[in-house]
Amino acid sequence: MKVKRNTLLFLACLVWSAAGFNILRIGLVSYPPYRTVLNYLLSVLVFAVFQKFIFGKLVKKHTARIIAYPEERQFFLKFFDGKSFVIMAVMMTGGIVLRTGRLAPERFIAVFYTGLGASLLLAGLLFGCNFVRAVFAPDKAQNNTESKGE
């Protein structure tokens, strides 16, 4: 099943947004007993660290890789490389083990999952923005050329 390169960006948007929404939801559901300024600040810190050092870079790297594919149509799972699929599988497995095994206190789940989920969700939305840019940029460039009379 091959799809257009731009569709890979859309698939990345869907996958990362769904994962981010779910993790954020788990964090927010756990949060009510732990609402303090310190916990909010810790969630913001988790968000900022993951966005700056992991997911922000990941979005840029994968968008550049996808756009650089020489063929227009690609296998639909190529929105990630192998390493990214492994990272996602490890993160999902680790999260499930932490929660179901009760290896982490509920406060940790609330604070960490809220920051992590928000960062994951933002990564998904950034893939969505890149998809929209990729879809509409060629039309915009063509319209600019036509309006200049070239």
Cβ-contact 68, 18 below 8 angstroms: no
Instruction: Quote the crossing angle between the two packed helices 106-147 and 82-100, to the nearest 10°.
Output: 150
For residue 118 the two structure tokens come to 């928000």
pTM of the prediction? Answer: 0.85
The full set of domain ranges for the chain reads 2-147
- Reported as a single tens digit per residue, the pLDDT across 74-86 is 888 888 888 888 8
| Residues of the chain falling short of pLDDT 70 | 138-150
Closest CA to 23 of 57, 52, 48, 47: 47
Residue 79 has what pLDDT? 86
Residue 141 has what pLDDT? 40
Closest CA to 80 of 127, 34, 37, 116: 127
| Count of all residues that appear for the chain in the document | 150
Residue 138 has what pLDDT? 63
Residue 41 has what pLDDT? 97
